[in-house]
């Protein structure tokens, strides 16, 4: 299956900056720690993950640049969600250092007020939290099926953005994660933010949607800038199947157009992984955290790390 899928992706146009995986390590957290995000500070390295039990946002720490990790048992980086949101429905956090002594967390949560998932922000003066939620969500995209998987980005001119997924697959359509007939769009949106990182400005812009080989959806977007090229990491296919992967697309400007790579970065079978996804690279793009499935009932996903080498125009895995 992996070799067949790579043949299919090879039919797509080549991206400007393909990658090659040099090293996959892990699991580095042998506990359910899905959708991990990484934050590097002068005081240490942190990872944040989707809710577990009564913990809204999980936290792990590393004192050796991400080589070894400790899950902070019982620590909730977001003990209280926004008043619009439902506790223990929090997904896929991302944290940025605003540079003024404040850290901003982006997260998704279910809202009974809006009857959908919304993306929102929270702030803290320490990396590990506790984070204080903003009183209103950033985006809900109610008609499109909700908004999930937010991640922050700061451009070279200082302008702040978030990217997120419009969750069209939540509207139905059958299959393991919805949208089996492909009738709903699952676009990745780019939303400009004010300097505070928590206030949206202007209208969101669509920068990517699923294609012929992406299955029913794309999701988990994270944007970085590498050697002058904008690189959008994402996952495609259903998170609860072996087809889930880590992919990427590149663009000459932040709003696109984005060109998908000729093949995913990681798929089932690579390095004995199953359903790798939810990747977040370090800002320099040379190291990332991601999850992979280790059990399907209940669904359990451990955290892994990878060192990434940028390799011109050739992808090898």
| Ranges in the chain, pLDDT < 50 | 1, 3-4, 7-16, 313-317
pLDDT (0 to 100) of residue 20: 62
Cis peptide before 139 (omega within 30 of 0): no
Residue (of 3, 29, 8, 13) closest to 304 by Cα position: 29
Q: Residue 5's CB: how many other CB atoms inside 10 A?
A: 18
pLDDT of res. 276: 98
Other CB atoms within a 10 A radius of the CB of residue 271 amount to: 15
Scan for tokens 């000459």, then name that residue: 252
- Coil/strand/helix, residue 169: helix
pLDDT for the residue 12: 42
For residue 9, the model assigns a pLDDT of 47
**pLDDT value at residue 210:** 95
Tokens of 274: 């199953």
- Output the pLDDT for position 22: 58
**Which pLDDT belongs to residue 316?**
33
Q: Model-level pTM? A: 0.93
Give residue 311's pLDDT: 72
Distance (Å, whole) CA 183 – CA 160: 32
Write the CB contacts of 99 (distance below 8 Å, at least 6 apart in sequence): none
Q: DSSP assignment, residue 144?
A: G
Among 194, 189, 169, 191, CA closest to 180? 169
Q: Domain limits of the chain?
A: 2-310
The CATH class of 2-310 is mainly beta
Question: ∠158-163-166 over CA atoms, to 5°?
Answer: 155
Could you give the CA distance from residue 81 to residue 68 in angstroms, rounded to a whole number? 29
Q: What pLDDT is recorded for position 67?
A: 96
């Amino acid at each position: 299956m992996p070799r067949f899928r790579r043949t299919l992706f090879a039919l797509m146009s080549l991206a400007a900056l393909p990658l090659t995986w040099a090293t996959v390590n892990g699991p580095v957290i042998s506990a359910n720690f899905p959708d991990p995000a990484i934050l590097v500070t002068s005081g240490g390295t942190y990872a944040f993950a989707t809710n577990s039990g009564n913990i809204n946002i999980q936290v792990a720490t590393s004192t050796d640049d991400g080589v070894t990790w400790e899950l902070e048992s019982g620590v909730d980086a977001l003990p209280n969600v926004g008043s619009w949101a439902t506790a223990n429905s929090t997904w896929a956090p991302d944290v940025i250092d605003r540079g003024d002594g404040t850290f901003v967390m982006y997260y998704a949560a279910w809202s009974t007020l809006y009857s959908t998932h919304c993306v929102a922000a929270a702030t803290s003066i320490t990396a590990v939290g506790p984070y204080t939620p903003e009183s209103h969500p950033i985006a809900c995209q109610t008609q499109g099926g909700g908004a999930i998987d937010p991640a922050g980005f700061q451009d070279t001119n200082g302008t702040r953005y978030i990217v997120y997924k419009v969750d069209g697959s939540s509207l139905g359509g059958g299959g393991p994660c919805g949208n089996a007939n492909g009738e709903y769009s699952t676009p990745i949106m780019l939303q400009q933010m004010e300097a505070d990182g928590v206030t949206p400005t202007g209208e969101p812009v669509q920068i990517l949607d699923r294609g012929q080989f992406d299955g029913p959806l794309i999701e988990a977007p994270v944007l970085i800038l590498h050697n002058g090229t904008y690189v959008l990491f994402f996952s495609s296919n259903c998170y609860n199947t072996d087809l889930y992967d880590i992919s990427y697309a590149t663009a000459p400007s932040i709003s696109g157009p984005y060109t998908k790579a000729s093949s995913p970065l990681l798929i089932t079978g690579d390095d004995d992984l199953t359903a790798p996804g939810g990747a977040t690279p370090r800002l320099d793009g040379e190291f990332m955290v991601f999850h992979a499935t280790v059990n399907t009932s209940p669904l359990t996903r451990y955290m892994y790390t990878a060192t990434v080498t940028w390799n011109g125009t050739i992808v090898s895995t």
